[in-house]
Amino acid sequence: MYIIIAGGGKVGYSLARELQGGDNELLVIERDGERAAELGERLEGAALRGDACEASVLEGAGVRRADLVAAVTGDDEDNLVVCEIARHHGVARVLARVNDPRNALLFGKRGIETTVSATDAILAQIEQELPVVAVVPVMHLHEGLELVEVRLPETSPAVGRTPRELLLPPESLVALIVDSGGVPRIPAPDTTLTVGDALVVVTRAESRAMLGEALIGGAHGFDT
Amino acid sequence: MGCGRTGAAIAERLDREGHRVTVIDRDASRFGRLDGGFGGRLAAGNGMDMEALERAGVREADAFIAVTQGDNRNFFASQLAREVYGVARVICRVKDPQRGEIFGRLGIDTYSPTSAGADAMIAMLAGEAPA
């Protein structure tokens, strides 16, 4: 599989390192010259300096034969543009990192798969054969609260229930449900959870294990 | 969206023509560009932020024009206006002509000052009357 990653920051680099090797061919496009050179050294040359929002840069990167373009810069507008241009060039699968979770709505309307920024979650989405059984921390909020993402496996005790019926730890709230098609929804009282739903949950850092139990089930859930 | 020279000129003219105009810019000091007679609303905020757009009244808007310095910011905000808020007329300035062409195919009316300027100057060179 030929994968182009737009954005060589922390997320782009760890994504590249995880995906490099095997049958994957990989290229990271990074705007900053110094950072691109550094990535080139660390990724066996698989880095290109350029602005992935420029059609000519993507064309130079061979976007037409790419199987997947993942736009993971820190700017949602740039990620949207990269995905739209890649799709224009016929790339079958485009994936965007969403830095502001509210923007998932627009990406969903444009039919672009999204993920809420954590590398593990992006990886899991790319390598769908590997089920994620993890509570993935996405963002630290204030005073011990954090935002985590959990994808519901087949064994999840939450499947078939509504968010209200879940036995969540104290001070936890399901903020967003992204279905397996990448469409985000604000949970409603009658929303039934299904396998493959990614739940974005506000919780306390110390409640991660309990949350894993409620959403993943068994003891495996804590194995982050 | 975007109170630069172009944004201010568009806002002033549409205001004079009797339209209800709101100018949104994340840097409120740029509102100083508007002449004293401007009768529209000023909304300080980031036009890529849905809450800021809503405060600016995007839900009631018939048209949305994005003229910040950033092509991608203009496109992103235009897509929000169109896809999320259903604004009927959306016009987006895109300096990069290649990007503009792709955005245009996605149903956004784009204007490229780069192409337009090049065309006008080539026409002048050929001795044609300026547009």
Pick from A54, A79, A82, A84 the residue to mutate for testing the B interface (most B CBs within 10 Å).
A84
Give domain status of residue B111, yes or no.
yes
Chain B residues near any Cβ of chain A (below 8 Å): 48-50, 70-73, 75-76, 79-80, 83-84, 96, 98-99, 102-103, 105-106
Tens digit of each residue's pLDDT (9 = 90 or more) over B56-111: 999 999 999 999 999 999 999 999 999 999 999 999 999 999 999 999 998 889 99
- Are the beta carbons of A91 and A66 closer than 8 angstroms? yes
Inter-chain residue contact B76 with A81, CB threshold 8 Å: yes
Greatest Cα-to-Cα distance within chain A, rounded to the nearest angstrom: 51
List the domain boundaries for chain A. 2-126, 135-222
- Kindly tell me if the per-residue pLDDT of B131 is higher than 80: no
How far is the first Cα of chain B from the last one, in angstroms, to the nearest whole number?
A: 26
Give domain status of residue B130, yes or no.
no
Q: What is the pTM of this model?
A: 0.69
- Residue A2 CA: distances (Å) to CA of A31, A123, B89: 20, 15, 38
CATH of the domain at B80: 3.40.50.720
- Residue A6 CA: distances (Å) to CA of A15, A83, B19: 11, 9, 41
Give domain status of residue B68, yes or no.
yes
Q: Kindly indicate the confidence band of residue A57, based on its pLDDT and cuts at 50, 70 and 90.
A: very high
As given in the structure block, the two tokens for residue B15 are 């205001």
Inter-chain residue contact A53 with B70, CB threshold 8 Å: no
Q: How many Cβ contacts (< 8 angstroms) between chains A and B?
A: 52
Of A1, A31, A28, A32, whose CA–CA distance to A12 is shortest? A28
A103 vs B25: CA distance, rounded Å:
19
Strand partners, B89: B63
Residues of A in contact with B76 (CB under 8 A): 76-77, 80-81, 106
H/E element holding A119?
Answer: helix A119-126
A207 vs A169: CA distance, rounded Å:
6
Tens digit of each residue's pLDDT (9 = 90 or more) over A86-125: 999 999 889 998 888 788 889 988 988 887 656 556 666 6
Position A113 scores a pLDDT of 83
Name the burial class of residue B71, with classes exposed (0-12), middle (13-18) and buried (19+) by CB atoms within 10 angstroms of its CB.
Answer: buried
- Kindly tell me if the per-residue pLDDT of A127 is higher than 80: no
Place of tokens 């890649």: A86
Inter-chain residue contact B83 with A109, CB threshold 8 Å: yes
Position A150 scores a pLDDT of 87
- Lowest average pLDDT, out of A82-86, A152-156, A216-220, goes to A216-220
Question: For chain A, how many residues are written?
Answer: 224
- Kindly tell me if the per-residue pLDDT of A219 is higher than 70: no
- For A135-222, which CATH superfamily applies? Regulator of K+ conductance, C-terminal domain (3.30.70.1450)
Pick from B85, B102, B110 the residue to mutate for testing the A interface (most A CBs within 10 Å).
B102
Residues of A in contact with B49 (CB under 8 A): 100
- Lowest average pLDDT, out of A110-124, A126-140, A142-156, B106-120, goes to A126-140
Residue numbers of the domain that contains B87: 5-125
- Residue B112 CA: distances (Å) to CA of A92, B48, B130: 28, 20, 18
How far off is chain B from A53, nearest CA to CA, in Å? 8
- Are the beta carbons of A99 and A187 closer than 8 angstroms? no
Give domain status of residue B131, yes or no.
no
- Are the beta carbons of A114 and A138 closer than 8 angstroms? no
Of B118, B121, B117, whose CA–CA distance to B6 is shortest? B117
* Percent of chain B whose predicted confidence (pLDDT) is above 70: 98
Question: Which one of 3.40.50.720, 3.30.70.1380, 3.40.50.620, 3.30.420.40 gives the CATH number of domain A2-126?
Answer: 3.40.50.720
* Percent of chain A whose predicted confidence (pLDDT) is above 70: 87
Residues of A in contact with B70 (CB under 8 A): 77
- Are the beta carbons of A133 and A219 closer than 8 angstroms? no
SS3 label, residue A29: strand
Give how many domains chain B has, as a whole number: 1
Pick from B1, B26, B46, B48 the residue to mutate for testing the A interface (most A CBs within 10 Å).
B48
Overall average pLDDT of the A153-179 stretch: 89
Q: Kindly indicate the confidence band of residue A130, based on its pLDDT and cuts at 50, 70 and 90.
A: very low
Inter-chain residue contact B83 with A76, CB threshold 8 Å: no
Overall average pLDDT of the A61-78 stretch: 93
Position A111 scores a pLDDT of 87
SS3 label, residue B126: coil
Q: Kindly indicate the confidence band of residue A183, based on its pLDDT and cuts at 50, 70 and 90.
A: confident
Inter-chain residue contact A80 with B75, CB threshold 8 Å: yes
Which of A55, A78, A106 shows the shortest C-beta gap to B102? A55
Give domain status of residue B77, yes or no.
yes
